[in-house]
Structure 1
């Protein structure tokens, strides 16, 4: 009874030997085992920047100078059986080379991260400059349009003079010569007219 049930279930789900061996795209794959431990690149980058910043300080240089001086003084003047690195100072050279071999890549990594930040800042500055230029050009066009529009605006003095001309024409055509619109002040121009 059990083999028949399995064959019916396979037939109902459409599972065959060929289908079972294929990967299912609707299901996530099992995580692979990694030989090397995983680390957070951002945390490592921040650490390298801190180290690079420290290596570039005067405190590090003074500390390194003190360590090297103490090393040399100890290995020259200490009793022979307490010296751990005799005159050619091979071990000191090895330690300094090891420190340099780690410092150089850390400094390069910190510089690369700074270059990436600078590149992003430059791109943002470029886009901001483009927006500012576009805004400036738009405002320039608007001001030019306003100036052109203001050149066509009728002022109070111009309208008054046109109306006075029309009144004169009417008066001449009717023959009575009276002034219909007297000026508000003797100069013929109002203070607010521009």
Structure 2
């Protein structure tokens, strides 16, 4: 009896998108992207800057005033370990911020394309409605107005009343 892989039995994923081996290299890009955005958002806050400042001051104060046997970074060599820690943090922060910016650029690009398509649809709708308004105006001009109908009815009534007035004159002769 052949063993069926768990991924082969899934019906919620198209067959071409299933991974045959875990950690094949593709990973969950969206999860990592959200993580990079979270880090970038966190690094741009006053709380992060305040925390980093408190961390550095605490580090330097501990390694300056603590008993000699409890110190782990020497002031004599310029807090080398602190410098390395801050350099490591900066070396990871820059690429994570760039990744977050790239994701935002991709979202902006998609939003701009959607806005452009929406604007094209709005323009087409507006042009259609403008043509319809022109067609309605032309059709309304061809329709008789109330004043025109009243004038025509008055003229017809006058014509009908005239022969009635003229008939008695003919009868008297």
Normalising by structure 2, what TM-score? 0.73
> Mind listing any 5+ residue stretches in structure 1 that lack a counterpart?
1-27, 179-194
> Mind listing any 5+ residue stretches in structure 2 that lack a counterpart?
1-15, 169-173
In structure 2, the CA distance between the partners of 1:155 and 1:76, relative to structure 1 (3 Å rule), is: same
Q: Residue 75 of structure 1 corresponds to which residue in structure 2? A: 63
**Number of aligned residues:** 149
Q: Residue 113 of structure 2 corresponds to which residue in structure 1? A: 123
Give 2:134's match in structure 1, choosing from 141, 144, 153: 144
In structure 2, the CA distance between the partners of 1:136 and 1:169, relative to structure 1 (3 Å rule), is: same
1:164-183 matches, within 5 Å, as: 164-165=154-155, 176=166
Higher relative contact order (CA 8 A, sep 6+): 2
Residue 166 of structure 2 aligns to a residue whose secondary structure is coil
Residue 62 of structure 2 aligns to a residue whose secondary structure is helix
CA distance in 1, matches of 2:115, 2:23: 43
Native 8 Å contact 1:52 1:106 kept in 2 = yes
In structure 2, the CA distance between the partners of 1:89 and 1:176, relative to structure 1 (3 Å rule), is: same
Native 8 Å contact 1:75 1:84 kept in 2 = yes
**Bigger mean CA offset, 131-140 vs 109-118:** 131-140
Give 1:66's match in structure 2, choosing from 47, 50, 54: 54
1:94 equivalenced with 2:84 (yes/no): yes
Greater percentage in helix: 2
Normalising by structure 1, what TM-score? 0.65
Q: In angstroms, what is the RMSD of aligned CA positions?
A: 2.9
In structure 2, the CA distance between the partners of 1:100 and 1:177, relative to structure 1 (3 Å rule), is: farther
CA distance in 1, matches of 2:130, 2:136: 10
In structure 2, the CA distance between the partners of 1:38 and 1:143, relative to structure 1 (3 Å rule), is: closer
In structure 2, the CA distance between the partners of 1:159 and 1:32, relative to structure 1 (3 Å rule), is: closer
Q: Residue 192 of structure 1 corresponds to which residue in structure 2? A: none
Q: Residue 3 of structure 2 corresponds to which residue in structure 1? A: none
Larger-gyration structure (1/2): 1
**Bigger mean CA offset, 148-157 vs 167-176:** 167-176
